Amino acid sequence: MSGKFKAFEAYQQNSSYNLLPFRFITLDTHRYILTNIAGEYIVVSKNELQDFTRKQLTSQNPLYNELKSRHFLYDEESDIALELLAIKYRTKQSYLVNFTGLHIFVVTLRCDHSCPYCQVSRQSEDKTAFDMTGEMADKGIDILFQSPSHTLKVEFQGGESLLNFELIKYIVEQVETRNQAVGKDIEFVIATNLSPLTDEILDFCLEHRIFISTSLDGLEELHNKNRPKRANDSYARLISGVERVRSKLGPHSVSALMTTTRESLKYPREIVDEYLRQGFKSIFLRSISPYGFAVKTASSTGYQMKEWLDFYKEVLTYILEINRAGVYFVEEYTALILKKMLTPYPTGYVDLQSPSGIGISVIVFNYDSDVYASDESRMLAEMNDKTFRLGNLLTNSYQQIFTSDILLDTIYETMLEGMPGCTDCAFLPYCGSDPVYHHSTQGDTIGHKPTSGFCQKNMSIMKYLIKLMEDEPKVRQIFESWL
């Protein structure tokens, strides 16, 4: 036989199996990641990928059974393979059935801090013109109760939300009263810097089982620099607030978000150590959002996505070290992606949905009665870009808001399955579309994915997580423990 040709058997197909739809991408020089619509993934070598797609795998090959059990191929024995795949896909998309669960009330735009990266404009504490009124709150509650979702989350945001605590009290009491007739499962969250915390507020939170979400950016000096306050005591007030919340409401009643500024990039380990020292079991790493006020201060606080990704990897490496040493500690954004990779369930996280979760997973009632499709949409509005304004609490009905052209068009345009750049991407089952980000940074809701910071962030993280799990089984065990 000529050296140009392989043996005859090499060209024979094992026609007894068929391929199910899948996407693939290189993991490194010799491995490929394959994913399917149910979010299953498998890593194979180039030769294995070729054998698989040329139908040259034999049923004795262990890879054959692995591909079969994860719905990459089916044969005459797998008579319900397609139905199973459909069930898994349906489960992954089940969040769509519930429609809008998260309702954000921006009860005031006033704030006692002046953070340079804040995404909404800051107003001094005495300007009640920037408070939501009771009438607006009533209309928001009307809309809340028209949601088909049985599970609802009511989140209070600002500004500093506790500066309008009277309205928070009013909304919680009204919602609870009205809920007696319908019996929905309702959770309340106050997003606050904890600076205005009082015993009265704590008593109310205890009585109504309200969860606290706060922000801790790291060590005292870094936190105070990121979150300036007249008395330079943001950190001290936060730490004492966290202690008071825990002792009154319980150890798991408060969580914290961390916003990364250029200064933060210098302290990956120190920031995690601070979270551990303060008794947190997790951290949520956030890059600065390109909306609202943050754009004005980007030259002093901003950085390239590549720098943030290096920071993220350093933090995650350190967190894995901590977990290997037996201390449970989670990075929350990683955990959201892992939930999509390693479990059959969706996350409900707005930025990782297809179609986009704006409006259909979250709705925002702004302090001035305008209704926005997401928190980022109202931040954009503070820069006079009201593209994602869906209507107004005082003048529009539920139907008018949720069938507004901007919402319907955005949902139609943000199905990743038909989106340029995403449709063939192996990470599609784990990713989402962020129309507000792409509108803000690239001028249209779909965006150009090869130059999108959102795409760069998610693609890098997803590939990195799979590589970590493939290269070290212990890492996969740690990640599974996070879920």
Give me the residues that bind ligand SF4 (CB under 6 A), please: 416, 421-422, 425, 427-428, 431, 449, 455, 458-459
User: What is the smallest separation between the CB atom of 42 and ligand SF4, expressed in angstroms?
Assistant: 18
CA distance 284 to 351: 14
User: What is the smallest separation between the CB atom of 468 and ligand SF4, expressed in angstroms?
Assistant: 17
DSSP 96: H
In the complex with ligand SF4, which residue's Cβ is closer, 283 or 431? 431
Closest by CA to 437, choosing from 340, 332, 352, is: 352
In the complex with ligand SF4, which residue's Cβ is closer, 134 or 420? 420
Closest by CA to 235, choosing from 194, 196, 268, is: 194
CA distance 136 to 285: 33
H or E element, residue 282: strand 282-287
Q: How many CB atoms lie within 10 A of CB 101?
A: 21
Residue 210 sits at φ, ψ, to 5 deg, of -95, 135
- The answer to whether the Cα torsion of 55, 56, 59, 65 is positive or negative is negative
User: What is the smallest separation between the CB atom of 31 and ligand SF4, expressed in angstroms?
Assistant: 18
User: What is the smallest separation between the CB atom of 90 and ligand SF4, expressed in angstroms?
Assistant: 20
User: What is the smallest separation between the CB atom of 345 and ligand SF4, expressed in angstroms?
Assistant: 19
In the complex with ligand SF4, which residue's Cβ is closer, 186 or 416? 416
In the complex with ligand SF4, which residue's Cβ is closer, 190 or 459? 459
In the complex with ligand SF4, which residue's Cβ is closer, 262 or 463? 463
Longest dimension (CA), the chain: 90
- Can you list the alpha helix ranges (DSSP code H) found in 213-266? 220-226, 234-249
DSSP 108: B
User: What is the smallest separation between the CB atom of 113 and ligand SF4, expressed in angstroms?
Assistant: 33
User: What is the smallest separation between the CB atom of 455 and ligand SF4, expressed in angstroms?
Assistant: 3
Amino acid code (one letter) for 452: S
User: What is the smallest separation between the CB atom of 89 and ligand SF4, expressed in angstroms?
Assistant: 16
In the complex with ligand SF4, which residue's Cβ is closer, 371 or 425? 425
In the complex with ligand SF4, which residue's Cβ is closer, 139 or 449? 449
- Can you list the alpha helix ranges (DSSP code H) found in 76-133? 81-92, 95-98
Q: Please state whether beta strands 151-157 and 102-106 pair in parallel, antiparallel, or not at all (unpaired).
A: parallel
In the complex with ligand SF4, which residue's Cβ is closer, 35 or 195? 35
In the complex with ligand SF4, which residue's Cβ is closer, 215 or 374? 374
| 159: preceding bond cis by omega (within 30 degrees) | yes
User: What is the smallest separation between the CB atom of 425 and ligand SF4, expressed in angstroms?
Assistant: 3
Residue 442 corresponds to which tokens in the numbers above?
């690239």
User: What is the smallest separation between the CB atom of 362 and ligand SF4, expressed in angstroms?
Assistant: 19
Amino acid code (one letter) for 463: K
Residue 61 corresponds to which tokens in the numbers above?
């090959």
Place of tokens 């801790």: 216
For Cα atoms 480, 481, 483, give the angle at the middle one, nearest 5 degrees: 70
In the complex with ligand SF4, which residue's Cβ is closer, 354 or 396? 354
Q: What is the 3-state secondary structure (H, E, C) of 177-224?
A: HHHHHHCCEEEEEEECCCCCCCHHHHHHHHHCCEEEEEECCCCHHHHH
In the complex with ligand SF4, which residue's Cβ is closer, 227 or 449? 449
CA distance 204 to 199: 9
User: What is the smallest separation between the CB atom of 96 and ligand SF4, expressed in angstroms?
Assistant: 18
